[in-house]
Amino acid sequence: MHNNNNELTLSAPLSGPVLTLANVPDAVFASGAMGDGIAIDPLNDTLYAPCDGEVIHIARTGHAVTLRADNGAELLLHLGLDTVELRGEGFSMLVKEGARVHNGQALMRYDVDKVALRCKSLVSLLVIINGERFQARPITLREVKVGEPLLHIVATQPGVDPDVDPALGSEVSGQVRIVNRGGLHARPAALVRQTAQKFQSHSQLHFGGKSAPCESVMGLMGLAITEHADVRVSCRGSDAEAALRALLAVLSTVPAGQAHNPRAEVATPRHAPEARSAEPGVLHGVCAAPGLVAGPLVRLQGIQLPDDPGGHDAQAQRQRLDAALTQVRREIHLTLENARARRNADEEAIFAAHLALLEDPLLLDAAYLSIDQGQAATHAWSQSIDVQCQVLQELGSTLLAERANDLRDLRQRVLRALLGHAWQFDVPAGAIVATQELTPSDLLHLSNQGVAGVCMVEGGATSHVAILARGQGLPCLVALGSELLAREQGQPVVLDADEGRLELTPTAERLVQVHEKRARRQARHTQQQALAQTSAHTLDGVEIEVAANVASSQEATQALANGADGVGLLRTEFLFVDRPTAPDEQAQRQAYQAVLDAMGDKPVIIRTIDVGGDKQLDYLPLPAEANPVLGLRGIRLAQVQPHLLDQQLHALLQTRPLQRCRILLPMVTEVDELLHIRQRLEALATEQGLDERPQLGVMIEVPAAALLAGQLAEHADFLSIGTNDLSQYTLAMDRDHAGLAARVDALHPALLRLIEQTCLGAAKHGRWVGVCGALASDPVATPILVGLGIRELSVSPPQIAEIKDRVRHLDAAQCRRLSRELLDLGSATAVRQASHRHWPLD
């Protein structure tokens, strides 16, 4: 076992379940007043020495023994609670005061039945009674067997004993009152750590009879320092005076922003509206993917690990963990830089705290120790986090308990880095998942695990996760507010995404009603599906192509089976979203060809890579920007990384047949951008000796492009309207903003006017216009889009049959007449109401 002068791993002195002191049914031990330590509810009859040391005290009544370990830690081993009252009956001490004992030596035997019957509890304690100089770090909180590693103790004054080493200088200390709202939780603790790290001296905080080194955020949080508490700071070293001054200053300063915003410290990083809960038992959100489902509400807990057989090579596992930690640190650094660039102080503080936690000796030591015992890196990391989460949760502070979420986040991130793609969330099929926010790859994982629906505290209806949810036919509500996560787990709920409702306490009748409604919908869907393979014409004979938005060749296969007339948008950035490295030309060609092959003889529109803004790719880190959605994104990448676009065009030109492959350019704002890509395409095609050229289209997703549609259409083969970004840029509302999610509605009359302009501009040059944004999948919008002149709708695959059915019930001439009137309305809500009036949905 790895021990040195300062650090010591104690082995279990008893066998049985492990408890933190806070859970011991004894006020004095539970409060930590006797010192820090751990407890075991014993199942055996002998107490063993947890380490080498000397017996310095034996209780007269033989129920407790104190050892001094070789590093100076004094350990009280106390068998049972209130066992002093047994006056020695049932205990037989096997060692004497002054004896030298070795780790694992039997110290005391006791009569389990007799003691259990006559005392309050058998729960036994291992407490460090000179805790001012030591810190206890539990290694496990599961059941242990005698001799297994239990507790790690670290001298809080590393190196030589300071009392006898004048070279380290004398200790300086000072008292300060904590002004931080909510006490010393993760973010202020990270600030203390950062300050202490600027000095050579070793600094500690002392509170409630316990101490913690300033380098450990976990240790500082473990002191459970509350607001207005008086704490002592001590520093020892060459620059102790300066360190003390700096630490006292940081502890007595109210962080920026807090003075004006009392909730700043507990607020979530991005603004999420509180749920509009006028109706009791119902949370209201914004529909990101339609559907009606019932199921148990399950909060996303994390990745499920299979049992670890142990016996792993410690060296290899350490390397794995180190590599994963390095990767996650790099990712967090990027996020941090980004938050800094956007001057988002809240986010910056949170991620700075995450970084500090990732370097925390408490977490790392415990994980490395378990690895040295033969555990896998995944399990060692996970266990180390679980132990600290439990410690935080038992400190009696809601704020610190909430910080366990930060730890879980890090558990997750590091596990993902360790497992690559081979991981699963711990969620049963059929569950309705509640979560803060999801990444696109999380959503795909959940969908594959068969969850019934997803609810998020934050997010927007046109975010990329929402797009993927629609693609998977997975009902999804966003912007539900933080109350969502306070709900009880496992309760049956109804997710009515169409109506933006999460019903938390449905009655049995309501559940039956949901079930019947789903059955009716299913029947209608089956009917619609029967006609899905035929093309859709309006009653007066106008053909509307209903294509699909897809993210992979698997989705393309599904889309074709669902009746897609083609692929209207392949978001190439999604094809490689899970990759840590950039795909080369060959990998790209194969991926594009796979989609073309999956679509039979139908056309496939492939959009060139659209990164930047809210779409980040691990393998393509872009410089941080002050306003990322107004920065270098979409086709503007050609300006900074032209080779990337060239590589993609090259790969696209190698697909066959070229006549089915259509290329689409995102975020175009002026004609030159289109002309430039046309020239590149021409040059590359000539280089390859091709006599055919793929069609080249332009996305209309910036108001400038809609207003220039005529000029663009002169040089483009077709136009495709991206209503998600067009809404964001026209309405000046972030498409991912939870607080604005309900208002980012592409049926706003201003957008309808831009759509009309686009169609008129295209018509001058005989070009067709499609819509590939989320509006195309909304049956309320179908008659309006048809009326304004749209001839292709690219929708999420599960909705193809429904939208085709909708088209077949419309009269294009009537749509044209009525939608003109809608342009004069004053809001998206008014347009929606009018659409319901003119073209009711059943």
Which residues are known catalytic residues?
464, 772
**CB 758 to ligand PEP: min, Å:** 13
Q: 293 vs 605, which CB is nearer to ligand PEP?
A: 605
Cα gap 651→639, rounded to integer Å? 19
**CB 493 to Mg ion: min, Å:** 33
Contact status, residue 754 vs residue 731, Cβ threshold 8 Å: no
Q: 290 vs 634, which CB is nearer to Mg ion?
A: 634
Q: 240 vs 611, which CB is nearer to ligand PEP?
A: 611
Residue 701 binds ligand PEP, judged by CB under 6 A: yes
**CB 565 to ligand PEP: min, Å:** 18
DSSP symbol at 164: G
Side chain identity at residue 240, one-letter code:
A
Residue 722 binds ligand PEP, judged by CB under 6 A: yes
Residue 538 binds ligand PEP, judged by CB under 6 A: no
What is the sign of the dihedral through the CA atoms of 450, 453, 457 and 459? positive
| % helix, strand, coil for the chain, step of 5 | 40, 20, 40
Query: Residue with structure tokens 């350990």?
Result: 75
Q: 149 vs 471, which CB is nearer to ligand PEP?
A: 471
**CB 666 to Mg ion: min, Å:** 6
**CB 723 to ligand PEP: min, Å:** 5
Side chain identity at residue 177, one-letter code:
R
Report H helices in 12-123: 27-31, 112-118
Strand partners of residue 606: 570, 663
- Binding window for ligand PEP (CB under 6 A); candidates: 121-129, 532-540, 722-730, 737-745: 722-730
Residue 173, token pair as written in the block: 């200390």
Contact status, residue 605 vs residue 566, Cβ threshold 8 Å: yes
Q: 380 vs 774, which CB is nearer to ligand PEP?
A: 774
**CB 467 to ligand PEP: min, Å:** 6
Q: Of ligand PEP, Mg ion, none, which one sits near residue 773, judging by CB under 5 to 8 A according to partner kind?
A: ligand PEP
Binders in 240-279 for ligand PEP, by CB under 6 A: none
- Binding window for ligand PEP (CB under 6 A); candidates: 190-198, 323-331, 370-378, 719-727: 719-727
User: CA 346 → CA 266, 361, 735, distances in Å?
Assistant: 10, 25, 21
- Binding window for ligand PEP (CB under 6 A); candidates: 288-296, 314-322, 469-477, 716-724: 716-724
10 Å CB burial of residue 784 (0-12, 13-18, 19+) is buried
Nearest to 114 by CA among 49, 177, 62: 62
Residue 459 binds ligand PEP, judged by CB under 6 A: no
Gap between the terminal Cα atoms of the chain: 71
**CB 773 to ligand PEP: min, Å:** 3
Side chain identity at residue 425, one-letter code:
F
Residue 725 binds ligand PEP, judged by CB under 6 A: yes
Query: Is residue 128 helix, strand or coil?
Result: strand
Beta strands of 574-708 (E only): which ranges?
604-607, 661-665, 695-700
Cα gap 604→545, rounded to integer Å? 13
Q: Of ligand PEP, Mg ion, none, which one sits near residue 723, judging by CB under 5 to 8 A according to partner kind?
A: ligand PEP
Binders in 464-503 for ligand PEP, by CB under 6 A: 467
- Binding window for ligand PEP (CB under 6 A); candidates: 444-452, 584-592, 636-644, 717-725: 717-725
Residue 207, token pair as written in the block: 């509170």
**CB 181 to Mg ion: min, Å:** 40
Q: How many residues does the chain have?
A: 842
Cα gap 288→698, rounded to integer Å? 26
Of 610, 673, 778, 811, the one binding ligand PEP (CB under 6 A) is: 610
Residue 736 binds ligand PEP, judged by CB under 6 A: no
Of 185, 571, 602, 737, the one binding ligand PEP (CB under 6 A) is: 571
Cα gap 626→215, rounded to integer Å? 32
Side chain identity at residue 495, one-letter code:
L
Binders in 330-359 for ligand PEP, by CB under 6 A: none
* Residues in CB range of 606: below 8 A, 6 or more apart: 567, 570, 572, 592, 595, 652, 661, 662, 663, 664
Which string of x and - marks every residue 745-774 that binds ligand PEP (by CB under 6 A)? ---------------------------xx-
**CB 637 to Mg ion: min, Å:** 13
Q: 40 vs 751, which CB is nearer to ligand PEP?
A: 751
- Binding window for ligand PEP (CB under 6 A); candidates: 209-217, 408-416, 426-434, 723-731: 723-731
What is the sign of the dihedral through the CA atoms of 248, 252, 258 and 259? negative
Residue 805 binds ligand PEP, judged by CB under 6 A: no
DSSP symbol at 79: -
Q: Of Mg ion, ligand PEP, none, which one sits near residue 673, judging by CB under 5 to 8 A according to partner kind?
A: none
Side chain identity at residue 293, one-letter code:
V
Nearest to 658 by CA among 645, 668, 649, 670: 649
* Residues in CB range of 558: below 8 A, 6 or more apart: 797
**CB 273 to ligand PEP: min, Å:** 23
Residue 768, token pair as written in the block: 């067709």
Of 9, 156, 195, 724, the one binding ligand PEP (CB under 6 A) is: 724
Q: Of Mg ion, ligand PEP, none, which one sits near residue 481, judging by CB under 5 to 8 A according to partner kind?
A: none
Q: 545 vs 610, which CB is nearer to ligand PEP?
A: 610
Interface ranges with Mg ion (CB under 5 A): 701, 722, 725
DSSP symbol at 144: B
Of 83, 723, 782, 819, the one binding ligand PEP (CB under 6 A) is: 723
Q: 503 vs 701, which CB is nearer to Mg ion?
A: 701
Q: Give the interface size with ligand PEP as a residue count (CB under 6 A).
A: 11
Q: 496 vs 745, which CB is nearer to ligand PEP?
A: 745
Q: 701 vs 734, which CB is nearer to Mg ion?
A: 701
Cα gap 598→620, rounded to integer Å? 28
Q: 437 vs 610, which CB is nearer to ligand PEP?
A: 610
**CB 259 to ligand PEP: min, Å:** 39
According to DSSP, the β-strands at 661-665 and 46-48 are: unpaired
Report H helices in 172-258: 186-196, 217-222, 240-251
By CB under 6 A, name the binding residues for ligand PEP.
Answer: 467, 569, 571, 610, 701, 722-725, 772-773
